[in-house]
């Protein structure tokens, strides 16, 4: 989230799209309802299915799964045609005025630079014109035919009401209603926000859906303000933290980039990863990248990381250039027999990964599997699953008992970036210990073997700083938390020239902010964005429980710690005009007094943009300092474009000759079948959760109260389709895709209504994804037998939300 949960109450229009917040984030929904109660906010729900969220919103607009970009692209078209944009904001705080290279073009669904063989773009033409100093050329009138604003206008001019309605199945009346209400927030004293969830990310175009909304928020001046932003309602208790610490192939803690093979030296890596800007008004905060990266290496290898050995850079594994190693790649390689061992910690991929049949077959190829969890699940037990003969499975499996959340101390980060401390309430049962302790002990044992026997590349294992146990040999969570925050590794004097102060820090003292990290090896920080979670005296800010709210906006600056540097709303300088005066005085998030900023922790101390000498642009993490309407970082183009899902009801994209996302990767095993616009699988299918179960159900299915409330798998079928198929409510049915099938109860409902798409009736059905064969015995198996192994072109987030099925009576 750019903002945070309580801030939802400050909004005037809340668009909930790709989320069923009332059922999946009920407490977040309380703040959404409060916006309605207190501000008279309008609540709009756009979703294929009518849910409890729809019931509490002002109205519900059904759209066909996988057509979100068309829907939102139509909104951009509406905003620009009707001049609803917040002009001052767009001109000053976005790259709307930048002139794009004359070699850039878009034609029939493809941008310039496409290589159809590699299914990849060269981004050489997705660049801005620069002046002699290297600063992007701007046309502040936004009239230059190649300025971003005009290109944006041209790109979305194709997204007419007729076209969008025909693609999405949404009536023109509904489109107009949503567009008009939402774009009315493009003024100084109104805030519009969006709440999204897996309904946006689970698509081959997921990242671009979110970017389309980001463009809308920039056009309407809704970024960086109270009640605004782009807000992901994320689905796991510490998914923000696990992402921040990057247990992900492509990044190291703090979103530092995982090195690739061609970056064979630290110097080359730093050169490639540190963005440059020639514009003196751009803070380009990532110019500090070397400090964050070297401090991370020091946190890993401590004294063993020296200037001479590149701080141990060569010990880090390197990915092949352009290669990816995501969950889907992992199971693809496992299916081919190339992966021999797997750790599966607090996870149940045998239920939750796409194309379950392939995943379960792949597991049989493992030599060993180590599971760590509080309950058994379908992954750890795969060797005795349906249709598997244990006598033919060679895998050695370890299932290690873990402490539950309330049985251990540590911090958890919510979607609003609040890092909250939790305490240990009781001992874990039996031999269970915290996952942190299991990790320490396994690596201790591996290190002992390397110390004794030697082996391949032992340096990174033996040189790792790994002393996170207390005197009793147990996991010392505070030691780790402090290592993540970071330390001074020698006595240091920090001079603040602006304030004219000098502060002394002793060797071993905690670093109070990431501003003080250094690239010379004199500081260590396990994750730079968490520097400041402790103060220099060692006080743990994550433990804070202060309830004061000086702005009255619900920022609660003394409750826990929010990264970065306790900033509660990021990009907050954009809530003020060029002179630092709040656009909306009623929700004064930040204000420049002439000397300093007052309110939330500002995005940097610099004066506002109007000060041409010292002032900075508001989007400090972007090299150019401005919001990116034109976003060259994306895999499939700088402007989002509608493409159909990998499996959909259409054989032709109504907008172009390019049916599906041109940059997605195909997996080509014998179990990776696809059936697009196939009469055998005529219905659009989507998946979701329910209030009582959580994700794969691997925790909640073991709880009698929750299971009683939601005991088994079902498929929701609209009344017209049920009538057509002769299916009665409560009857058992088989739902099948080209990859597999599941048997479940039919729930005949008014919640799904057919769509009119390209002049034809298209039915959609949906199933929850919370069930597996292990428990309960008659609850049904994984919905992911139906889903394809395909993901977003940027993130490889699987396309669970739009694929094609058939439904038959059993």
Partner 1 sequence: MEITRRGFLTLSGALGSGVALSSLGVDLGPAKAYAAEINKMQRVMAARQVTTVCCYCSVGCGLICSVDRNTGKIFNIEGDPEHPINEGSLCAKGAGFFDLTEANKYRLRKVLYRAPMSDRWEEKNWDWALERIARLVKDTRDKGFVTRNAKGELVNRCETIGHLGSSNVDNEECWLMSVACRSMGLVYIDHQARV
Closer residue to partner 1 (CB): 312 or 637: 312
Residue 734 backbone phi and psi in degrees, to 5 = -110, 130
Task: Report in angstroms how near the CB of residue 284 gets to partner 1 at its nearest.
Answer: 27
Closer residue to partner 1 (CB): 556 or 617: 556
**Residues 6 or more apart from 227 whose CB is under 8 A from it?**
3, 7, 8, 9, 10, 11, 12, 35, 191, 192, 193, 587
**Residues 6 or more apart from 598 whose CB is under 8 A from it?**
590, 591, 592
Site for partner 1 in 518-577 (CB under 8 A): 526-527, 530, 545, 547, 554, 556, 559
Sign of CA dihedral 60, 66, 68, 73: negative
Site for partner 1 in 648-707 (CB under 8 A): 691-695, 699-700, 702-706
Task: Report in angstroms how near the CB of residue 436 gets to partner 1 at its nearest.
Answer: 4
**DSSP string computed for 75-137:** HHHHHHHTT-S-HHHHHHHBGGGBBBPTT--EETTEETTEETTTTEE--TTS-B-B-TTSPBP
Q: Which helix (H) or strand (E) holds 756?
A: strand 755-757
Task: Report in angstroms how near the CB of residue 290 gets to partner 1 at its nearest.
Answer: 19
Cα 746 from chain centre: 33
Distance CA 175, CA 172 (A): 5
Task: Report in angstroms how near the CB of residue 699 gets to partner 1 at its nearest.
Answer: 7
Stretch that binds partner 1, among 178-186, 419-427, 644-652, 751-759 (CB under 8 A): 419-427
Distance CA 75, CA 57 (A): 20
Q: Which helix (H) or strand (E) holds 193?
A: strand 192-196
Binding test (CB under 8 A) with partner 1, winner from 440, 589, 664, 747: 440
Site for partner 1 in 206-235 (CB under 8 A): 233-235
Binding test (CB under 8 A) with partner 1, winner from 269, 375, 583, 639: 375
**DSSP conformational letter for 722:** H
Closer residue to partner 1 (CB): 224 or 416: 416
- Is residue 120 a contact partner of residue 252, using CB atoms and an 8 Å limit? no
229 is written with which tokens? Answer: 């932003």
Closer residue to partner 1 (CB): 214 or 483: 483
Q: Does position 740 bind partner 1 by CB under 8 A?
A: no
Binding test (CB under 8 A) with partner 1, winner from 461, 536, 650, 756: 461
562: left (phi over 0), alpha (psi -120 to 50) or beta: beta
Strands (E), 519-654: 523-524, 561-562, 590-592, 597-599
Q: Does position 516 bind partner 1 by CB under 8 A?
A: no
Interaction pattern, residues 232-271, with partner 1; x per rule: CB under 8 A: -xxxxxxxxxxxxxxxxx--xx-------xx-x-------
Site for partner 1 in 289-348 (CB under 8 A): 299-300, 314-320, 325-327, 329-330, 333-334, 338-347
Q: Does position 187 bind partner 1 by CB under 8 A?
A: no
Site for partner 1 in 470-489 (CB under 8 A): 477, 480-481, 483-484
Q: Does position 592 bind partner 1 by CB under 8 A?
A: no
Binding test (CB under 8 A) with partner 1, winner from 125, 395, 522, 540: 395
Binding test (CB under 8 A) with partner 1, winner from 113, 275, 401, 711: 401
Binding test (CB under 8 A) with partner 1, winner from 160, 278, 309, 439: 439
3-state secondary structure labels for all residues of 444-503:
HHHHHHHHHHCCCCCHHHHCCCCCCECCCCCECHHHHHHHHHCEECCCEEEEECCCCEEE
Cα 117 from chain centre: 29
Q: Please give the size of the binding site for partner 1, defined by CB under 8 A.
A: 164
Binding test (CB under 8 A) with partner 1, winner from 134, 157, 306, 368: 368
- Is residue 693 a contact partner of residue 768, using CB atoms and an 8 Å limit? yes
Q: Does position 469 bind partner 1 by CB under 8 A?
A: no
Closer residue to partner 1 (CB): 30 or 154: 30
Q: Does position 118 bind partner 1 by CB under 8 A?
A: no
Binding test (CB under 8 A) with partner 1, winner from 118, 406, 451, 810: 406
Interaction pattern, residues 790-809, with partner 1; x per rule: CB under 8 A: -----xxxx-x---------
Stretch that binds partner 1, among 76-84, 424-432, 711-719, 801-809 (CB under 8 A): 424-432
The CB-based long-range contact list for 51-57 (8 Å cut-off, 24+ gap) reads: 51/20, 51/22, 51/23, 51/751, 52/20, 52/22, 52/23, 53/16, 53/19, 53/20, 53/21, 53/22, 53/23, 53/29, 55/22, 56/22, 56/29, 57/16
Q: Say whether 803 sits in a helix, a strand or coil.
A: strand
Q: Does position 50 bind partner 1 by CB under 8 A?
A: no
Q: Does position 777 bind partner 1 by CB under 8 A?
A: no
Closer residue to partner 1 (CB): 39 or 415: 415
Site for partner 1 in 2-31 (CB under 8 A): 5-6, 24-28, 30-31
**Half-sphere exposure at residue 40, Cβ-oriented, CA atoms within 13 angstroms:** 1
Stretch that binds partner 1, among 91-99, 109-117, 363-371, 736-744 (CB under 8 A): 363-371
Closer residue to partner 1 (CB): 235 or 632: 235
Task: Report in angstroms how near the CB of residue 743 gets to partner 1 at its nearest.
Answer: 24
Task: Report in angstroms how near the CB of residue 381 gets to partner 1 at its nearest.
Answer: 8
Task: Report in angstroms how near the CB of residue 141 gets to partner 1 at its nearest.
Answer: 42
Sign of CA dihedral 433, 436, 437, 439: positive
């Amino acid at each position: 989230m750019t903002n945070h949960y309580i801030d939802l109450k400050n909004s005037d229009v809340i668009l909930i799209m790709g989320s069923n917040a009332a059922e999946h984030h009920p407490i977040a929904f309380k703040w959404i309802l409060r916006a309605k109660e207190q501000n008279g906010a309008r609540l709009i729900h756009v979703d294929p299915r009518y849910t409890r969220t729809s019931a509490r919103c002002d109205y519900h607009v059904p759209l066909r799964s996988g057509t979100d970009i068309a829907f939102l692209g139509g909104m951009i078209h509406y905003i620009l045609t009707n001049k609803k944009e917040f002009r001052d904001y767009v001109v000053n705080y976005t790259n709307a005025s930048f002139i794009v290279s004359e070699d850039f073009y878009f034609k029939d669904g493809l941008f310039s630079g496409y290589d159809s063989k590699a299914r990849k773009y060269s981004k050489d033409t997705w660049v801005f014109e620069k002046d002699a100093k290297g600063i992007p050329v701007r046309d502040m009138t936004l009239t230059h035919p190649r300025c971003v604003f005009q290109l944006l206008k041209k790109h979305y001019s194709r997204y007419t009401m007729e076209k969008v309605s025909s693609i999405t199945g949404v009536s023109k009346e509904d489109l107009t209603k949503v567009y008009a209400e939402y774009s009315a927030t493009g003024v100084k004293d109104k805030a519009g926000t969006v709440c999204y969830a897996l309904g946006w990310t689970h698509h081959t175009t997921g990242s671009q859906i979110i970017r389309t909304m980001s463009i809308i928020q920039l056009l309407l001046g809704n970024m960086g303000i109270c009640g605004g932003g782009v807000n992901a309602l994320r689905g796991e208790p510490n998914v923000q933290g696990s992402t921040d610490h990057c247990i992900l192939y492509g990044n190291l803690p703090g979103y530092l980039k995982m090195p690739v093979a061609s970056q064979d030296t630290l110097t080359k890596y730093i050169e490639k990863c540190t963005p440059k800007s020639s514009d003196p008004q751009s803070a380009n905060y990532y110019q500090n990248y070397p400090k964050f990266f070297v401090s991370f290496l020091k946190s890993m290898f401590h004294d063993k990381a020296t200037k001479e050995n590149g701080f141990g850079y060569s010990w880090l594994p390197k990915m092949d250039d352009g290669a990816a190693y995501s969950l889907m790649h992992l199971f693809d390689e496992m299916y081919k027999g190339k992966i021999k061992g797997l750790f599966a910690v607090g996870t149940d991929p045998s239920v939750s990964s796409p194309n379950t049949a392939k995943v379960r077959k792949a597991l049989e190829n493992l030599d060993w599997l180590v599971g760590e969890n509080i309950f058994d699940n379908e992954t750890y037990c795969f060797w005795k699953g349906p249709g598997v003969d244990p006598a033919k499975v060679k895998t050695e499996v370890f299932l290690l008992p873990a402490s539950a959340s309330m049985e251990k101390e540590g911090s958890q980060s919510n979607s609003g970036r609040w890092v909250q401390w939790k305490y240990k309430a009781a001992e874990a049962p039996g031999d269970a210990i915290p996952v942190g302790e299991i990790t320490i002990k396994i690596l201790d044992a591996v290190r002992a073997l390397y110390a004794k026997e030697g082996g391949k590349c032992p340096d990174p294992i033996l040189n790792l700083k790994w002393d996170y146990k207390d005197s009793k040999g147990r996991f010392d969570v505070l030691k780790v938390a402090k290592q993540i925050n970071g330390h001074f590794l020698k006595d240091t004097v920090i001079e603040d020239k602006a304030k004219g102060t000098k502060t002394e820090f002793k060797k071993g003292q905690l670093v109070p902010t990431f501003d003080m990290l250094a690239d010379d090896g004199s500081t260590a920080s396990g994750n730079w964005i968490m520097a400041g979670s402790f103060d220099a005296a060692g006080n743990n800010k994550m433990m804070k429980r202060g309830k004061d709210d000086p702005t009255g906006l619900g920022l609660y600056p003394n409750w826990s710690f929010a990264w970065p540097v306790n900033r509660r709303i990021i990009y907050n300088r954009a809530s003020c005009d060029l002179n630092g005066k709040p656009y909306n005085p009623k929700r004064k998030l930040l204000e420049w007094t002439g000397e300093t900023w007052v309110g939330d922790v500002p995005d940097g101390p610099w004066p506002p943009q109007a000060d041409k000498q010292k002032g900075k642009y508001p989007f400090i993490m972007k090299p150019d300092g401005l919001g990116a309407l034109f976003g060259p970082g994306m895999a499939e183009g700088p402007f989002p474009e509608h493409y159909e899902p990998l499996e959909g009801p259409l054989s032709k994209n109504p907008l172009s000759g390019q049916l599906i996302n041109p940059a997605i990767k195909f997996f080509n095993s014998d179990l990776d079948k696809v059936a697009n616009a196939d009469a055998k699988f005529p219905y659009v299918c989507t998946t979701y959760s329910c209030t009582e179960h959580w994700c794969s159900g691997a925790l909640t299915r073991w709880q009698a109260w929750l299971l009683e409330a939601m005991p088994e798998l079902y498929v929701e079928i609209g009344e017209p389709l049920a009538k057509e198929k002769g299916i009665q409510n409560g009857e058992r049915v088989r739902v099948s895709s080209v990859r597999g099938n599941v048997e479940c109860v039919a729930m005949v409902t008014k919640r799904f209504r057919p769509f009119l798409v390209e002049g034809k009736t298209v039915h959609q059905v949906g199933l929850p994804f919370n069930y597996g064969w292990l428990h309960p015995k008659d609850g049904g198996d994984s919905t992911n037998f139906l889903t394809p192994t395909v993901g977003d072109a940027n993130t490889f987030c699987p396309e669970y939300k739009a694929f094609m099925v058939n439904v038959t009576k059993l």
